[in-house]
A = this chain, B = another copy of it.
Amino acid sequence: MQKSQVTIKQIAQELGVSISTVSRALQNHPRIGLRTKEQVFAVAKKLNYVPNPAAILLKKNRTSTIGVVLPQLAEEFFSQAITGIEDVISEKGYNVVISQSRDSLERENRAIKSFISSRVDGVIASISAETTQYYQFRELENYGVPIVFFDRVPKDVRVNKVRGNIVEAAYESIAFLEARGVRRIAILNGPASLEICDERLMGYWNALKQLGLPVVQQYIKSTDLSREDTSKKIDELLAMEEPPEAVLCFNDYVALYAMQQCKQRGIVPNKDILFVSFANLPITAYLDNPPLASVEQFAYQMGEKAAQLLLQIIDAPDDSVLEPQDIVIDTKLVVH
């Protein structure tokens, strides 16, 4: 039943040439004659030859596999990004190994360890909500595995990043609300360890100042992205003496959690209190009462860019020193 492994040895035997000739022929080596090449290809096809990746890896030290670690696939943003990555990478003959951290540092570390032992050629990562230190990623670098971060990129470190223009998007969101006459605006941000949270805050801040809106310290909340924490924080906002008229949320999930909590408190979202968020998930199109507006971050494109950058680094000659790149992708505020 089981096909015995076809090797170049068998091809060589069948043709009465040596295995080195076969190997070179299959690689289109210029020193091999045209006729020989044709014969080799014909026999290879006939025998259904599939090169053994292990042997190639052993010689070339390349797995043609890249590892991706991200919070969770169930978030459409990430599954779209994966699709972008896959499209770019599979075109170049690479495979993708995916691991979900589910926002747990421990899972993230496990994934990285597994990437090291399976010898991936590179890693694309979007860090977990718990991640504040990067020694585990440094470990990858020690093994010479290049890394590109996307969306949830670490701050403070010189690394390759692909991310949305969050500062501007946040600014734009606030301006959008201000144009509607809203003045008291809160922010339900994510964990402070993420650079993209700083950026949201910065855009928020800038906008408040430049547009002359009131800056209230208690309007600024950060959550660990869980439903529970989000509910708690929105409750705090609602309980204030002067609650905000609008909330800028870290992403659509946070907005949905918060909006549900509002409903439970008898407050009608987007009427009594307005919501604007990030991600612009396709599912929001099916909501009767989606966030007023959401920042489209072009996840697919981000995945593509990250993959392209990674491949570029992998393909760079070993002695070339590459400066870490910081690619910023423009976002777009979509009004629902």
Contacts and interface: CB of A to CB of B under 8 A. Distances in A.
Interface stretch (A97-105, A129-137, A214-222): A97-105
A226 interface: no
A144 B61 CA distance: 26
A23 interface: no
Contacts of A98: 82, 96-98
Contacts of A28: none
A1 interface: yes
Given A97-B96, A286-B287, A116 B50 contact: yes
Interface in A188-213: none
A3 B117 contact: no
A16 B141 CA distance: 30
Contacts of A144: 1-3
Contacts of A61: 5
Interface residues of A, number: 52
A141 to B, nearest CB: 8
A251 to B, nearest CB: 13
A100 B61 CA distance: 27
Interface string A221-264: 00000000000000000000000000000000000100110000
A156 B118 CA distance: 38
A54 B50 contact: no
Contacts of A18: none
B50 A117 contact: yes
Given A3-B143, A114-B95, A288-B288, A79 B73 contact: yes
Contacts of A1: 141-142, 144
A76 B76 CA distance: 8
A330 to B, nearest CB: 23
A35 to B, nearest CB: 27
A55 interface: yes
Contacts of A324: none
Contact of A283 (B82, B119, B283): B283
Interface string A88-100: 0010000111111
A188 to B, nearest CB: 16
Nearest to A259: B286
Nearest to A318: B2
A143 B82 contact: no
Interface of A: 1-3, 5, 50-55, 57-58, 61, 63-65, 72-74, 76, 79-80, 82-83, 86, 90, 95-100, 102, 110, 114, 116-119, 141-144, 256, 259-260, 282-283, 286-289
13 contacts: A50-B143, A53-B118, A54-B58, A55-B58, A64-B118, A72-B79, A73-B83, A74-B80, A74-B83, A82-B100, A86-B99, A90-B110, A287-B288
Given A52-B58, A53-B57, 11 more contacts: A50-B117, A54-B58, A72-B83, A74-B76, A74-B79, A90-B99, A90-B110, A95-B114, A95-B118, A259-B286, A283-B283
